[in-house]
């Protein structure tokens, strides 16, 4: 489908990294779930790995501009978002699937994605086409006019992905997008991720190391709210030794890196 390219899209980029965090601290309730995170993400698919409670969801929320960092710097698309500044411009270029994806059960898939497109301030004329395209990309074209309460968990997750990509975001944040997807849907989703990663900065949080190896160009490993390690999936696999926990080289690499990090911080 041909779409009009706006002047803003062809304007030269004035920042080095779509996502850049320095000494970022973010509170979740009373404790600091993100505690001194330094991170730079470019275009591509970044897999965010870490044990439960590592601060992945809080980090995603901060990057989605949903919560304000307590301290440190956070720049998205070259604009500071850790301040009390206006976030409209950045948010128009953002796609976000939260871990707990809430929806309106009486809305159809199309109505819901349309509503999200409206909230994202897309031009009214672009909405119907963009909504149809997003629904097709997640493979829900045959369910587009079904009420959301009739959908299975995996389908709802895909509606969540559709609403996140409807505005062709420059930064796409997906928190546990593969939960509830069956193996075949996971394969299709990995293809979609690779496609999106060609021109978008995608950050996918997951607990499945195999997802990261299959679909990501870059691995971001966090623990206790800090960056532990960043590199390619191949480099991750090289870290593992035979004695480390895990079923694949990448899983062993993951265990080894976490173990080394934890030994170092004690």
Partner 1 sequence: MNTHANADLLARYVAGDPGLDDATLWSLETHLESCRACRARLGTTMDGGTVALLDRVHRELGQRIAAGPAPYRRRRWWSFGRRWTVAWSVLPWLAVTVGMLATALLFDRAYPQYPSMVLLVAPVAPLFSVAAAWSRRADPAWELLTATPRAGLWLLLRRTLAVLAVLIPLLMLAGWRAGQSPARWLLPCLVFTAATLALGGRIGVQRAAYVLTAAWAAGVMVPTVAEREPSALLQPGSQPGWALALAVVGAIALLRRADYRRLTSRN
**∠ CA 241-247-249, rounded to 5°:** 45
Contact stretch for partner 1 (CB under 8 A) within 14-22, 101-109, 202-210, 219-227: 101-109
> Using the rule CB under 8 A, is 221 a contact of partner 1?
no
Find the binder of partner 1 among 25, 103, 186, 238 (CB under 8 A): 103
205 binds partner 1 (CB under 8 A): no
Q: How many residues bind partner 1 (CB under 8 A)?
A: 40
Collapse the DSSP code of 188 into the 3-class scheme (helix H, G, I; strand E, B; otherwise coil) and give the result: helix
The residue (of 145 and 199) whose beta carbon lies closer to partner 1 is 145
Work out whether 84 is an interface residue with partner 1 (CB under 8 A).
yes
Q: Is 91 in the site for partner 1 (CB under 8 A)?
A: yes
Residue 33, class by beta-carbon neighbours within 10 Å (0-12 exposed, 13-18 middle, 19+ buried)?
buried
- Distance between alpha carbon 107 and the CA centroid of its chain, in Å? 24
Give min distance, CB of 169 to partner 1, in A: 11
Binding residue for partner 1, selected from 16, 119, 198, 241, defined by CB under 8 A: 119
Q: Considering only residues 123-152, where is the footprint of partner 1 by CB under 8 A?
A: 128, 132, 141-142, 144-145
Residue with smaller CB distance to partner 1, 56 or 252: 56
Residue 266, token pair as written in the block: 């004690």
Q: CA-to-CA distance for 11 and 26, rounded, in angstroms?
A: 32
Q: How far apart are CA 50 and CA 32, in angstroms?
A: 16
30 binds partner 1 (CB under 8 A): no
Residue 74 or 212: which CB sits closer to partner 1? 74
Q: Which of 178, 212, 230, 233 minimizes the C-alpha distance to 17?
A: 230
Determine, following the binding rule CB under 8 A, whether residue 106 of this chain makes contact with partner 1: yes
Question: Residue 75: which residues within 8 A CB-CB, separation 6 or more?
Answer: 15, 17, 19, 20, 21, 81
Residue where the block lists tokens 């990309």: 137
- Which CB sits closer to partner 1, 16 or 66? 66
For residue 202, state whether it binds partner 1 (rule: CB under 8 A). no
Q: Binding marks (x or -) toward partner 1, 48..67, rule CB under 8 A?
A: -------------x--xxxx
Angle at the Cα of 190 from the Cα atoms of 175 and 114, rounded to 5 degrees: 60
What's the rounded Cα separation, in Å, for the pair 178 and 171?
18
Contact set with partner 1 (CB under 8 A): 61, 64-68, 84-89, 91-92, 94, 96, 98, 100-104, 106-107, 110-111, 114-116, 118-121, 128, 132, 141-142, 144-145, 163
């Amino acid at each position: 489908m041909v779409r009009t390219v706006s002047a803003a899209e062809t304007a030269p980029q004035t920042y080095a990294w779509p996502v850049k965090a320095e000494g970022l601290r973010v509170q979740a309730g009373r404790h600091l779930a993100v505690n001194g995170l330094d991170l730079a993400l470019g275009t591509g698919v970044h897999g965010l790995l870490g044990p439960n409670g590592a601060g992945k969801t809080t980090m995603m929320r901060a990057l989605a501009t949903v919560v304000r960092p307590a301290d440190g710097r956070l720049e998205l698309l070259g604009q500071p978002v850790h301040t009390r500044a206006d976030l409209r411009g950045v948010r128009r270029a953002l796609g976000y699937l939260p871990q707990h994806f809430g929806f309106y059960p009486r809305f159809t898939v199309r109505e819901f994605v349309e509503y999200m497109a409206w909230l994202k301030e897309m031009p009214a004329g672009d909405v119907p086409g963009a909504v149809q395209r997003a629904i097709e990309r997640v493979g829900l074209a045959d369910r587009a006019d079904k009420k959301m309460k009739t959908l299975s968990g995996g389908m709802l997750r895909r509606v969540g992905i559709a609403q996140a990509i409807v505005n062709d975001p420059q930064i796409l944040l997906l928190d546990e997008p593969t939960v509830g997807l069956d193996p075949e849907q996971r394969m299709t989703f990995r293809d979609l991720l690779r496609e999106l990663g060609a021109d978008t900065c995608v950050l996918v949080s997951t607990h499945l190391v195999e997802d990261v190896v299959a679909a990501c160009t870059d691995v971001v490993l966090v623990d206790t709210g800090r960056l532990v390690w960043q590199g390619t999936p191949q480099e991750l696999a090289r870290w593992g030794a035979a004695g480390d926990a895990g079923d694949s080289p990448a899983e062993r690499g993951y265990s080894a890196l976490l173990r080394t990090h934890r030994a170092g911080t004690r």
